[in-house]
Amino acid sequence: MKTLAICGLEKEYVTRLAEAFRRMCGKDTEVLLFTDSEAISEYLESKKIDICLSLEDFKVQDLSNVGTLIYLSEEENVPGKVFRYMSCDRIYGDALALCAEKSGNSGHIFNSGEKELIGIYTPIKRSFQTSFALTLGQVLSRTKKVLYLNFESFSGFDNMSGKLGGSDLMDLLYFSECDDANFAYRVDSLKERLGELDYISPTKAFVKFSLVTAEQWEKLLNSIIEKTDYETVILDLSENVSGLLDILKKCSVVYTITDSDKVATAKIGQYESILRESGYQDILSRTETIKIPVLREIPHNYELLPHTELADFVKKLIRYDLGGEGNE
């Protein structure tokens, strides 16, 4: 487990910041709060702190057990420091990005043996695919660390979530292409949260997205598996992704949504035929074809999805498919 310490003599400010960080950090990060130097000195005598975020009036005497020290500055654009008068989200992201720059090697290399990719794809439009994917992610994230990635060209995700602007999937792809040794920190600095579920905002640049090669997507997914501690990565896929079938082939399970009408049946039939004819028939053996039940309502607020009929359906589904996760 990583440790992140918030330090400062302004008790009200650092307390609010620590509370916000605890909501943003995953289960693998312990957020500590120190408002006097003696307490942190005593703590560091026997334990280590991975990241120490401190106000400038707070001095840490012995840094031997501190991985990275970052000061919160009163002034903007100070090299090596983070401006303190910003939203907690911005402070968190800027601090982790700076940590990645300062660290020569993040040390985040994880055993990929217990990782899983879950692919969600259907050729049927308006099928509740994204609602299903986000519900699945939020249900699973109650018991494990989960990352959600959306591969639509025009997802509308930021508008729906109310979080406009900022970084997106293309930024994460850039760090993967650079072979960034601190890739895990980069993911932490770019991620957003939906309840307990981590996600990277979908692309905002269709043209750039359309130029990404299958090899680049494969490299990104390998980086996530090998260099982060996510146990499950949910891929909300579309046919606009280069190398779609190769991505599906990497997944331990693929959920394909279908319907009973003739058009939906014809589309699913054509998709399955293409898999067989192209030598990807093994994807079918890991595919769970599902039919979403009639739903009275899908909330516009994605955080409410775990409290819907769709969530009840998802819990029943994964109770059998994924060995019991989702039991409450």
Q: What are residue 117's DSSP bridge partners? A: 233
Q: Do 227 and 128 fall within a single domain? A: yes
pLDDT of residue 266: 96
Q: Within this chain, do residues 145 and 277 fall inside the same structural domain, yes or no?
A: yes
Total domains, the chain: 2
My answer on whether 15 and 78 are in the same domain is yes
Q: What are phi and psi of 239, to 5 degrees?
A: -75, -5
What is the number of alpha carbons within 13 Å of residue 26 lying toward its C-beta? 24
- Is 21 part of a structural domain of the chain? yes
Note whether residue 172 is domain-resident.
Answer: yes
Q: What is the pLDDT along the chain (328 residues), one digit of tens a residue?
A: 789 999 999 999 999 999 999 888 877 789 999 999 999 999 999 999 999 999 998 988 888 899 899 999 999 989 889 999 998 888 988 888 888 777 654 444 334 457 899 999 999 988 999 999 999 999 999 989 999 999 998 877 766 666 656 789 999 999 999 877 788 888 988 999 898 999 999 998 888 899 999 999 999 999 999 989 899 999 999 999 999 999 999 999 999 999 989 999 999 999 999 999 999 999 999 999 999 998 888 888 889 999 999 999 999 998 756 454 444 4
Domain annotation covers residue 327: no
pLDDT tens per residue across span 30-44: 999 999 999 999 999
Question: Is residue 107 one of the residues assigned to a domain?
Answer: no
How many whole angstroms separate alpha carbon 206 and alpha carbon 145? 29
Contacts of 225 (CB under 8 A, 6+ apart): 112, 115, 117, 233
In a domain, 225, yes or no: yes
Span 199-250, pLDDT tens digits: 999 998 888 899 999 999 999 999 999 989 899 999 999 999 999 999 999 9
CATH of the domain at 47: 3.40.50.10850
Which of 45, 75, 102 is the endpoint of a domain?
102
Residues 84 and 201 in one domain: no
End position of a domain, from candidates 79, 102, 125: 102
* CB atoms closer than 10 angstroms to residue 291: 12
In a domain, 130, yes or no: yes
Statement: the pTM of the whole predicted model exceeds 0.85: no
Q: Are residues 118 and 42 in the same domain?
A: no
Question: What six digits make up the tokens of 306?
Answer: 């775990």
The verdict on 151 and 74 lying in the same domain is no
CB-based burial label for 322 (10 Å; 0-12, 13-18, 19+): middle
53 occurs within a structural domain:
yes
Domain that holds residue 78: 2-102
Nearest alpha carbon to residue 255 among 326, 203, 197, 317:
317
| Dist. CA 286–CA 251, nearest whole Å | 8
187 residue type, one letter? V
